Structure 1
Amino acid sequence: MFALMEVSRIQHPAGSPFLPAAIFLLGCGLAILGSVFVVVDAMYFRRTGRRFQGTSSAFRLLCPSISGGLSVGMGKVIYSVASSLDGYNTDTQGNFSWAVPDEAVVAALTADLASVSTYLYGRRMYETMAIWETDPAAATWSPESAHFADTWKRAKKVVFSSSLEQTWTERTRLERAFTAEAVARAKSEAPGDLTVEGPTLARSALLLGVVDVVELLLCPVIVGGGTAVFPNGLSLDLRLVRERRFDNGMVQITYDVVRP
């Protein structure tokens, strides 16, 4: 639409009677776009249980060439983690094979990533997830694995580590310290939502108060100990926004963090 207006400006200079009509049509067009954002937001909420952030995701989806020059709402920081029923991400041996999802769960989780543009990782989680770009075999495990690999490679990655010398995947940058300021910077640069994955980095994010959404994939197992999903002493008020059950016994529950 703005490209069309620029052509009209050249062909009809200032003072031309065409300009008032063009401005009126532009206003009508923006009003229609606003209505579209409302519809898209409603559809997105019905599918995911989450709202677009200030219609920013919808705006970027529908008008990517325009949105780059406008200020829009920032995305949410989502803590997404698999958990045993007794609240552990790994058992006492560091094993998490019980959390491996089936095809239906992978498809659902990949669809959820449609709103995510940036992954926040610690060193260990980054080293684990980097295979989706560095190991071509990972994408051949299944059709859903191939889809997830493409999704992962398109996203930006921010790795927080004081010991990692360098990163080895595209669209990745290294940060030496995980601070509220670093997260705020990542949010300001992200065109969509952000996920913080792995209980170690998430522990810091939760205690810093920068997590907006808690998303648990509950697995039908009790492991008796290991790496806890939540740090000791954490207190949060949460509001349930979605519950989704899978045939393999896993249940995904999503909560918004309610801030005072």
Structure 2
Amino acid sequence: MRILLSNDDGVHSPGLVALYEGLQGLGKLEVVAPDRDHSGASNSLTLSRPLTVEKHPNGFQSVDGTPTDCVHLAVNGLFNSPFDRVVSGINTHANLGDDIIYSGTVAAATEGRHLGLPAIAVSLVNEGRFHYETAAQVVRCLLENPHALTLGPRSILNVNVPDVPWEELAGFCITRLGHRERAEGVVPVTCPRGKKRYWIGAAGRGGDAGPGTDFYAISQKCVSITPVHTDMTRHAALPELKSWLEGLDGVEVVDQ
């Protein structure tokens, strides 16, 4: 098995190193990650310039681009042999609920899936103890499952792991994405030259965080495993949208 590892925290991230070390022996591991922190990059691709790839003494390769760039390059040209799957992480912080819209960690996994590979995004719900080895062991458990998992097209697993030792985990939970409350306001600051600047405010707390959600699983010290489908069409709204359009004068709604 050939596994591509990537992330959004950068090639020197301790979470990426822990993932690489924790998956030793499962197959051939290759690491292609951003050369710096690209948290919040989402699914952006760099199309305005060529990308530079650098190989490091430990064998990891870095790209001066986004997480999506890294997976795209790795799968589509950097290696002669194909990969069997993509694992993105271990992210230093949670990717729960609405976080996945912005997450470069999840984006690296979805790019792998768009290119035809099963993919997992894994994040540590960091509380300052940095139990990356627990998250790495969770991923190893999933990859060692002898039974094949078919999620369907454009689907990945989004995994969040409590920041506790392995023996303190309460179990694995299959979850849905919760939702956060509105984010906190921007934080104005003044730079040394006297100009006003703004920090993006902290993410909101879990607004939809009850039983069944990824937020709730983490609060119970369970690993949260959510199947994520990147088809963003709101299928349930199609009939109502059709009726609404049919109410417009001079407009013909054509069924396909």
TM range (shorter): under 0.3
TM-score for the superposition, normalised by structure 2: 0.28
Q: Which has the higher helix share?
A: 1
TM-score for the superposition, normalised by structure 1: 0.28
- Higher RCO structure (Cα 8 Å, ≥6 apart): 1
| Higher-Rg member (1/2) | 1
